[in-house]
Structure 1
Amino acid sequence: MIEPPGERGVRRIAIGLALLSFLSLAVTAWVLLTVRHEQEILNKIIKHLPASDLKSANELSGDLSLQSSLLVLLVLNVMATGVAFVFVIRAYFSSEKSLADVKVLSSDILASMDAGVITTDENDIITSINTSGRTLLGLGEDGEAGMSSGIGRNIADVSTDHSLLSEICDESRRTNHPIRDRDYRVVRDGHVQTLRAGCTRLHNRSGRQIGLVIHVRDVTQKTLMEERLRRMERYTGLGSLAAGLQHEIKNPLSALALHVQLLCERLAKGTDDPEVNESLDIINTEVKRIGAVLDGFRNYASINEIGLTPVDVTLLVEKLIRLLRPQAEKQNVKIRVEPAREMLGLIQADSVRLEQVLLNLAINAIASMPNGGVLRFVITGEDSSIRIDVIDNGNGIPDDIQTKIFDPYFTTRSDGTGMGLALCDKIIRQHNGNLDFETSPEGTTFTVMLPKNSGE
Structure 2
Amino acid sequence: MTKESGRLRRWLASIQGKLIIASLLISLVPTSIAADLSVRLITHVVNNDVQSFLHETSALFLNSFKQSQSEAAGLARFLYEQKRGQPDPVVKADGAFLHLAQTLGYSVVVVSDRDHRILYSNYPIQHIEPLSPEVRNTLYALQLPDSNQIMTGGSFVYEAGGGSYEILVGTWLDENFIENLQLISTLDLRFYYRRPSGFQMIYSSRTDAASGTPLPAEVTSELEEGAESVYDPQAEDGGYRALYLPVRNGRGEMIGVMSAGLKSTELPSIWDLPINILITVFAAGLGLTAIAGLFVSRRLSRPLRALAAGVKSITAGDFDHRVDASGEDEVAELAQVFNHMAERLGYLQSLEVDLRRRDRLSALGKVAVGIAHEVRNPLGTIKTSAELVRKAGHLSASDTKLIGYVIEEVRRIDGLIEEFLSFARPREPLRHRMSCASVVERVATFCEPELSRHDIALGVVDESGDTMIDADENHLFQAFLNLVLNAIDAMDKGGRLTILLERRDDCLATSFTDTGPGIGKDIIDKIFDPFFTTKPRGSGLGLAKVFAVMESHGGRVECQSSPGAGATFTLILPISKPD
TM-score class, shorter-chain normalisation, is 0.5 to 0.7
Q: State whether structure 2 residue 508 is matched by structure 1 residue 386.
A: yes
Alignment-derived partner of residue 446 in structure 1: 569
1:317 and 1:18 map into 2 onto residues whose CA distance is 76
Change (3 A) 1:262 1:401: farther
Alignment-derived partner of residue 24 in structure 1: none
SS at match of 1:386: strand
For the aligned residues, what is the CA RMSD? 3.7
Q: Identity percentage over the alignment? A: 25
Unpaired segments of 5 or more residues in structure 2? Answer: 1-14, 37-295, 324-337
Q: State whether structure 2 residue 465 is matched by structure 1 residue 342.
A: yes
**8 A Cα contact 1:387 1:447, kept in partner:** yes
**Superposed counterparts of 1:1-400, under 5 Å:** 3=19, 5-13=21-29, 127-129=301-303, 181-184=315-318, 194-195=320-321, 217-218=342-343, 220-266=346-392, 269-274=393-398, 276-302=399-425, 304-340=427-463, 342-344=465-467, 346-400=468-522
- Summarize deviations over 1:237-277 as a string: whole Å, max 9, x none: 445324312321122222222222333333xx333423x23
**8 A Cα contact 1:389 1:447, kept in partner:** yes
**8 A Cα contact 2:314 2:321, kept in partner:** no
Change (3 A) 1:230 1:127: same
1:376 and 1:243 map into 2 onto residues whose CA distance is 37
**8 A Cα contact 2:464 2:508, kept in partner:** no
Q: Which amino acid aligns with 1:6?
A: A
1:399 is displaced (CA, Å) by: 2.9
Change (3 A) 1:17 1:404: closer
Q: Which amino acid aligns with 1:234?
A: R
Q: State whether structure 2 residue 541 is matched by structure 1 residue 407.
A: no
SS at match of 2:482: helix
2:389 and 2:578 map into 1 onto residues whose CA distance is 50
Q: Which amino acid aligns with 2:458?
A: I
1:335 is displaced (CA, Å) by: 1.3
Change (3 A) 1:296 1:455: farther
1:196 and 1:409 map into 2 onto residues whose CA distance is 34
Change (3 A) 1:372 1:310: same
Change (3 A) 1:305 1:341: closer
SS at match of 2:486: helix
Q: State whether structure 2 residue 549 is matched by structure 1 residue 427.
A: yes
2:503 and 2:397 map into 1 onto residues whose CA distance is 62
**8 A Cα contact 1:348 1:455, kept in partner:** no
Change (3 A) 1:424 1:263: farther
2:384 and 2:322 map into 1 onto residues whose CA distance is 57
Compare CA radii of gyration and give the structure with the larger one: 2
1:280 and 1:303 map into 2 onto residues whose CA distance is 34
Q: Output the TM-score relative to the length of structure 2.
A: 0.44
Change (3 A) 1:452 1:180: closer
Change (3 A) 1:245 1:393: same
1:13 is displaced (CA, Å) by: 4.1
Alignment-derived partner of residue 131 in structure 2: none
Unpaired segments of 5 or more residues in structure 1? Answer: 21-106, 108-118, 135-154, 156-164, 170-177, 185-192, 198-214
Q: Which amino acid aligns with 1:231?
A: R
2:578 and 2:354 map into 1 onto residues whose CA distance is 21
Change (3 A) 1:294 1:341: closer
**8 A Cα contact 1:349 1:455, kept in partner:** no
Poorly superposed stretches of 4+, deviation over 6 Å = 17-20
Change (3 A) 1:288 1:347: same
**8 A Cα contact 1:347 1:455, kept in partner:** no
- Summarize deviations over 1:366-405 as a string: whole Å, max 9, x none: 0111111111111111221111111110111233322221
Change (3 A) 1:359 1:454: farther
Change (3 A) 1:347 1:250: same
2:535 and 2:521 map into 1 onto residues whose CA distance is 17
1:235 is displaced (CA, Å) by: 1.6
1:133 and 1:180 map into 2 onto residues whose CA distance is 12
| Range moving further from structure 2, 1-10 or 248-257 | 1-10
SS at match of 1:375: strand
Q: Which amino acid aligns with 1:273?
A: A
1:179 is displaced (CA, Å) by: 8.5
Change (3 A) 1:331 1:265: farther
Change (3 A) 1:334 1:18: closer
**8 A Cα contact 1:334 1:375, kept in partner:** yes
Q: Output the TM-score relative to the length of structure 1.
A: 0.55
Change (3 A) 1:357 1:17: closer
Change (3 A) 1:295 1:433: same
1:231 and 1:455 map into 2 onto residues whose CA distance is 33
Q: Which amino acid aligns with 2:433?
A: P
1:17 and 1:126 map into 2 onto residues whose CA distance is 29
1:422 is displaced (CA, Å) by: 0.9
2:522 and 2:32 map into 1 onto residues whose CA distance is 68
1:18 and 1:314 map into 2 onto residues whose CA distance is 75
Aligned length: 287
1:282 and 1:302 map into 2 onto residues whose CA distance is 30
